[in-house]
């Protein structure tokens, strides 16, 4: 679980397996993913935080929940979502080890 200063109310993130989402309890902010390669790859396709909740670190909390889930379940992450690839991973380089590497497949 993520630790640190959660601010006044640390966000509780819920895994919605049926809808392939990690979301806040109120379901307003979420991270959407698709499973690929027989369920071995978690392709994070979209992260959404409504304007009323931006600036609270919710996108990062959602991403940490997804990456923790992927790591715990031996999944590799494909960072299709621009927030994940351009903001979250560069700010949290320790998660690079969970990313899918094309080097594992023969590249043509």
Each residue's pLDDT tens digit, 13-22:
999 999 999 9
Whether 31 maps to a domain, the answer reads yes
Question: Considering only 3-12, 52-61, 73-82, 84-93, which range has the smallest mean pLDDT?
Answer: 3-12
How many Å is the Cα radius of gyration of the chain? 14
Range scoring the smallest mean pLDDT among 28-32, 51-55, 101-105: 101-105
Q: Is 81 among the catalytic positions?
A: yes
Residue 50 lies in a domain: yes
Q: Is 6 contained in some domain?
A: no
Is 8 contained in some domain?
no
Domain membership of residue 25 as a residue range: 14-102
| Given the residues 13, 62, 81, 89, the one annotated as active site | 81
Strand order in the sheet with 13-16: 13-16, 21-24, 30-36, 41-48, 76-78
Is residue 90 assigned to a domain? Answer: yes
Domain count, the chain: 1
* pTM of the full structure: 0.85
Q: Is residue 53 part of a domain?
A: yes
Is residue 78 situated within a structural domain? yes
CATH number of the domain encompassing residue 32:
3.40.630.30
3-state secondary structure at position 78: strand
11 — pLDDT class (breaks 50, 70, 90):
confident
Residue 42 lies in a domain: yes
For 75-104, what is the mean pLDDT?
94
pLDDT, tens digit, 9 for 90 and up, residues 66-86: 999 999 999 999 999 999 999
pLDDT, average across residues 84-107: 86
| Average pLDDT score, the chain | 89
């Amino acid at each position: 679980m993520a630790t640190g200063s959660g601010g006044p109310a640390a966000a509780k993130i819920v895994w919605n397996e049926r809808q392939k989402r990690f979301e806040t309890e109120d379901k307003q902010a979420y991270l959407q993913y698709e499973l690929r390669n027989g369920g071995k790859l978690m392709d994070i396709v979209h992260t959404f935080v409504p304007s009323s909740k931006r600036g609270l670190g919710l996108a990062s909390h959602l991403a940490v929940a997804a990456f923790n889930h992927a790591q715990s379940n031996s999944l590799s992450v494909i960072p299709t979502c621009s927030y994940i690839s351009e903001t979250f991973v560069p700010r949290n380089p320790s998660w690079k080890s969970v990313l899918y590497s094309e080097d594992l497949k023969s590249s043509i």
